[in-house]
Chain A
Amino acid sequence: MSTVLDAAPAPVTTVAEEKVAVATQLQLTWWRFRKHKVAVASGVIVAFFYLVALLADFLATIGPHATDAARSYIPPQEIHWFDEDGSFRPHVFALKGKRDPRTFRLVYAPDPEDKRYLVLFGQGYAYEFLGLFPTSRHLVGLDRGNPEEALFLLGTDQLGRDFWSRLVLATRTSLVIGLAGVALSLFLGVLLGGISGLYGGWIDTVIQRLIEILRSIPTIPLWMGLAAALPASWSVLQIYLAITVIISLIGWTELARVVRGRFLSLREEDFVTAAELAGASRMRIIFRHMVPSFLSHIIAAVSLALPAMIISETTLSFLGLGLRPPAISWGVLLQDAQNIQALGIAPWLLLAAVPVIVVILAFNFLGDGLRDAADPYG
Chain B
Amino acid sequence: MIAYVVRRLILAIVTIWAISVVSYAIIQLPPGDFVDSYIANLSASGSMVSAQEAEAMREHYGLNRPIWVQYAKWMNRVIRGDFGVSLEWNRPVTEVIGDRLWLTIVISIAAIILTWGIALPIGIYSAVRQYSIADYIFTFVGFVGLAVPNFLLALIVMYLGFRYFDASIGGLFSPEYELAPWSWGKVWDLTVHLPLPALILALAGTAQLIRIMRANLLDELRRPYVTTARARGLQEWRVIMKYPVRASLNPFASTIGYLLPFVVSGSIVVSLVLSLPTVGPLLLRALVAQDMFLAGAIVLLLGVLTVIGTFLSDLVLMWIDPRIRAGLHG
- A-side residues, CB < 8 A to B, are 209, 212-213, 215-222, 224-226, 228-229, 231, 307, 311, 314-315, 318-321, 334, 337-338, 340, 343-344, 347, 350, 353, 356-357, 360-361, 364-365
Residue B239 at the chain A interface, CB threshold 8 Å = no
Whether the pair B144, A222 counts as a contact (CB closer than 8 A) is no
Contact A217 B14 (CB under 8 A): no
Q: A315-B269, A344-B162, A347-B159 are in contact. Are A353 and B284 (CB under 8 A)?
A: no
Bound complex: CA of A219 vs CA of B295, how far in Å?
14
Contact with A along B139-176 (1 / 0, CB 8 A): 00001101111111001101100110000100000000
Using A224-B268, A319-B272, A357-B147 as known contacts, say yes or no to A213 and B155 having CB atoms under 8 A apart. no
Bound together, the chains give a CA A343 to CA B260 distance in angstroms of 32
For B18, what are the chain A residues with a Cβ–Cβ distance below 8 Å? 213, 217
Q: Are B265 and A364 in contact (CB under 8 A)?
A: no
Question: Quick check: A216 and B257 within 8 Å, CB to CB?
Answer: yes
| B190 lies within 8 A of chain A by Cβ | no
B258:A315 contact, CB within 8 angstroms: no
Contact present for B269 and A364 (CB under 8 Å):
no
Residues of A within 8 Å of B162, CB to CB, are 340, 343-344
Interface: B127 (CB within 8 A): no
Chain A residues whose C-beta falls within 8 Å of the C-beta of B307 in the assembled complex: 216-217
Can you list 17 contacts pairing A with B, beta carbon distance less than 8 Å? A213-B14, A217-B15, A217-B18, A220-B264, A224-B268, A225-B26, A307-B147, A314-B149, A319-B272, A340-B159, A340-B162, A344-B162, A347-B159, A350-B155, A353-B156, A356-B149, A364-B146
Select A221's contact among B257, B260, B265, beta carbons within 8 Å: B265
A3–B55 alpha-carbon span in the complex (Å): 90
Instruction: Let me know if B158 and A340 touch, CB within 8 A.
Output: yes
Tell me, yes or no, whether B303 is within 8 Å of chain A by CB.
yes
Q: Is the CB of B306 within 8 A of A216?
A: yes
Question: Would A213 and B15 count as touching, CB distance under 8 A?
Answer: yes
Q: Mark B1-35, 1 if CB is under 8 A from A, else 0.
A: 00000000001001100110011001001110000
- B168 and A357 form a contact (CB under 8 A): no
Interface residues in chain B, defined as those with a beta carbon under 8 Å from any beta carbon in chain A: 11, 14-15, 18-19, 22-23, 26, 29-31, 143-144, 146-152, 155-156, 158-159, 162-163, 168, 257-258, 260-262, 264-266, 268-269, 272-273, 283-284, 287-288, 290, 295-296, 298-299, 302-303, 306-307, 310
Q: Is A221 a contact of B258 with CB atoms below 8 Å?
A: no
> Is the beta-carbon distance between B288 and A226 smaller than 8 angstroms?
no
Mostly, the A contact residues are helix
Contacts of B30 in A (CB 8 A): 229
> Is A217 a contact of B261 with CB atoms below 8 Å?
yes
A186 to chain B, nearest CB (A): 21
- Most chain A beta-carbon contacts within 10 A, residue among B156, B168, B268: B268
Q: How close is B265's CB to chain A, nearest CB, in angstroms?
A: 4
Q: How far is the CA of A213 from the CA of B311 in the complex (A)?
A: 12
Residues A350 and B295 in contact in the complex (CB < 8 Å), given A218-B306, A343-B162: no
Q: Is the CB of A225 within 8 A of B156?
A: no
Task: Please give the distance in Å from B210's CB to the nearest CB on chain A.
Answer: 13
In angstroms, Cα B163 to Cα A344, docked, is 8
Are A364 and B147 in contact, CB atoms less than 8 angstroms apart? Answer: yes
**Residues B147 and A360 in contact, CB atoms below 8 Å apart:** yes
Q: Are B155 and A224 neighbours in the complex by a CB distance under 8 Å?
A: no
- Whether the pair A220, B11 counts as a contact (CB closer than 8 A) is no
Contacts of B29 in A (CB 8 A): 225-226, 229
On whether the beta carbons of A217 and B306 are closer than 8 Å, the reply is yes
Which residues on the A side are within 8 Å of B155 (C-beta)?
334, 337-338, 343, 350, 353
A219 x B265 contact (CB < 8 A): yes
Q: Point out the residue from B143, B258, B310 that lies within 8 Å of A365, measured CB to CB.
A: B143
B268, A221: Cβ atoms under 8 Å?
yes
Q: How far is the CB of B207 from chain A (nearest CB, A)?
A: 9
Closest residue of A by beta carbon distance from B258: A215
Known contacts A215-B258, A225-B299, A340-B158: A220-B149 contact under CB 8 Å? no
CB pair A357 B258 closer than 8 Å: no
Q: Which 9 A-B pairs have the closest CB atoms?
A: A229-B29, A220-B265, A228-B287, A225-B26, A361-B147, A360-B147, A218-B264, A218-B261, A218-B265
* Complex Cα gap A229–B149 (Å): 24
With both chains docked as a complex, state the minimum distance between the C-beta of A210 and any C-beta of chain B, in angstroms: 9
CA distance A318 to B152 in the complex (A): 10
Once bound together, how far apart are the Cα atoms of A320 and B272, in whole Å? 12
Q: How far is the CA of A364 from the CA of B208 in the complex (A)?
A: 11
* CA A342 to CA B257, docked complex, whole Å: 38
Known contacts: A353-B152, A353-B156. The answer to whether A221 contacts B283 by CB under 8 A is yes
The answer to whether A231 touches B31 (Cβ under 8 A) is: yes
Question: Does B287 contact A321, Cβ atoms closer than 8 Å?
Answer: yes
Task: Give every chain B residue within 8 A of A229 (Cβ-Cβ).
Answer: 26, 29-30
**Which chain B residues lie closer than 8 Å to A231 at the CB level?**
31
CA distance A311 to B146 in the complex (A): 11
B163 and A347 contacting across the interface, CB-CB below 8 Å: yes
B35 shortest CB reach to chain A, Å: 18
A221 contacts which chain B residues (CB < 8 A)? 264-265, 268, 283, 298-299, 302-303
* Cβ-neighbour of A219 out of B159, B261, B273 (below 8 A): B261
CA distance A215 to B264 in the complex (A): 13
Residues from chain A with a CB closer than 8 A to the CB of B144 are 357, 361
Min distance, Cβ A368 to any Cβ of chain B, angstroms: 9
Q: Which residues of B contact A357 (CB under 8 A)?
A: 144, 147-148, 152
Min CB–CB distance A371 → chain B (angstroms)? 11
Report yes or no: A226 in contact with B261, Cβ–Cβ below 8 A. no
Whether A350 pairs with B159 at a CB distance below 8 angstroms is yes
Do B151 and A361 touch across chains, with their CB atoms under 8 A apart?
no
Chain A residues with CB under 8 A of B266: 220
Contacts of A217 in B (CB 8 A): 15, 18-19, 22, 261, 303, 306-307
